[in-house]
């Protein structure tokens, strides 16, 4: 391998992780929703306020599947097994 080829390849490997970090423009937010179904009104309101799921927002939906007693388990932190 020529010296220049090695330097170029090595430089691109080192620059890749830095380039990925530099592309993050703003803060990404994460919210959790407990409820039945996935309310479209919430998504629409957040979109109108400038929050777009997959770009600067992650929504974690937790559905008790018709069993309100499951809300307590869904709201708590993950349990160690």
At 17-76, the pLDDT tens digits run 444 444 456 789 999 888 887 688 999 999 999 999 999 999 988 888 889 899 888 887
Rounded CA gap, 38 and 20, in Å?
31
Tell me the pLDDT band of 7, cut-offs 50, 70 and 90: very low
Domain boundaries, position 15: 3-75
Specify the number of domains making up the chain. 1
State the pLDDT at residue 52.
Answer: 93
76 or 6, which is more confident? 76
User: Is 81 a member of any domain?
Assistant: no
Alpha helix locations (H) across 23-75? 40-48, 71-75
User: Is 68 a member of any domain?
Assistant: yes
- The pTM (predicted TM-score) of the whole model is 0.55
Q: Report the phi/psi class of residue 69: left, alpha or beta, with left for phi > 0 and alpha for psi in -120 to 50.
A: alpha
What are residue 58's DSSP bridge partners? Answer: 30
User: Is 80 a member of any domain?
Assistant: no
User: Is 42 a member of any domain?
Assistant: yes
User: Is 43 a member of any domain?
Assistant: yes
Place of tokens 């306020």: 49
User: Is 52 a member of any domain?
Assistant: yes
Contact 36, 66 (CB under 8 A): yes
User: Is 61 a member of any domain?
Assistant: yes
State the pLDDT at residue 53.
Answer: 92
Question: In which element (H, E) is residue 57 found?
Answer: strand 57-62
User: Is 49 a member of any domain?
Assistant: yes
């Amino acid at each position: 391998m020529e010296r220049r080829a090695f330097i170029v390849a090595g430089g691109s490997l080192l620059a890749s992780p830095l380039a990925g970090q530099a592309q993050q423009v703003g803060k990404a937010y994460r919210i959790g929703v407990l409820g039945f179904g996935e309310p479209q009104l919430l998504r629409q309101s957040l979109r109108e306020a400038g929050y777009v799921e997959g770009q600067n927002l992650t929504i974690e939906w937790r559905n008790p599947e018709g069993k309100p007693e499951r809300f307590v388990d869904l709201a708590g932190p993950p349990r160690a097994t």
